[in-house]
Amino acid sequence: MLKTSLRLSSLFLLVALFLGACGYHNPYVYTGPEKSIYVTHWKNRTNALQLDTKIYQSLTRWFQKTNSIKVTKEKAGADLILAGEILSIQQPSLSYGTGNAATQVKVILTVRYILKDIKTDKVLLEIPSETWSEDARTTRSATVTADNETRALETIINDLSEKIYIKSLGKLSEL
């Protein structure tokens, strides 16, 4: 038992030294100076209700993962501003079954966003158009189909928020 514990400790130490020596950097961690970010509610150009709120909440959750970045509800006094726009959402059918009924749809979300340093007015990150998609199965039950489409959209929103978070941390680390 003691030998196994010693081996595991040695292995852990070896891995930690290797990762430290090779310049490994965790993209989810920002260790620079403390910053405050004002995340706006994105303009929603679609008919999907509350989509802007869902994106705002997801972005806020991601930026709260680091202690060095504080999310603020006020633009005044913030170091950074993250703004965006929901350009479109589509749900085209991908495949059809018996009776020409759709068996699979794809949820496609197109957005644009910008991260700016408020004090210097420098654009740190600007994406003029980005499209995200996720498949959703349809069933004979409209409720189950709607649930599948909702889950697909939630996956897109989380993945989008994570990407924005990681890209933002990368840009802040370059400053």
Region 149-171 average pLDDT:
95
The CA radius of gyration of the chain, in Å to the nearest whole number, is 21
List, for residues 105-155, the tens digit of each pLDDT value: 889 999 999 999 999 999 999 999 999 999 887 665 555 566 778 899 999
Please tell me the predicted confidence (pLDDT) of residue 102.
52
Tokens of 78: 């913030």
DSSP characters over 81-118? EEEEEEEEEE--EEEE-GGG-EEEEEEEEEEEEEEEET
Give the CATH number, domain containing residue 30. 3.30.160.150
The residue that leads in pLDDT, 148 or 96, is: 148
> Residue 80: pLDDT above 90?
yes
Please tell me the predicted confidence (pLDDT) of residue 32.
79
From 117, 106, 107, select the one nearest 175 (Cα to Cα): 117
HSE value, Cβ hemisphere, 13 Å, CA-based, for 159: 14
Q: Whole-prediction pTM value? A: 0.77
Please tell me the predicted confidence (pLDDT) of residue 149.
85
The residue that leads in pLDDT, 32 or 132, is: 132
Please tell me the predicted confidence (pLDDT) of residue 120.
95
Please tell me the predicted confidence (pLDDT) of residue 148.
78
Domain that holds residue 122: 2-174
Please tell me the predicted confidence (pLDDT) of residue 18.
59
Distance CA 167, CA 161 (A): 10
From 33, 42, 40, select the one nearest 75 (Cα to Cα): 40
Domain count, the chain: 1
List, for residues 35-73, the tens digit of each pLDDT value: 999 999 999 999 999 999 999 999 999 999 888 899 999
The residue that leads in pLDDT, 123 or 99, is: 123
Please tell me the predicted confidence (pLDDT) of residue 66.
87
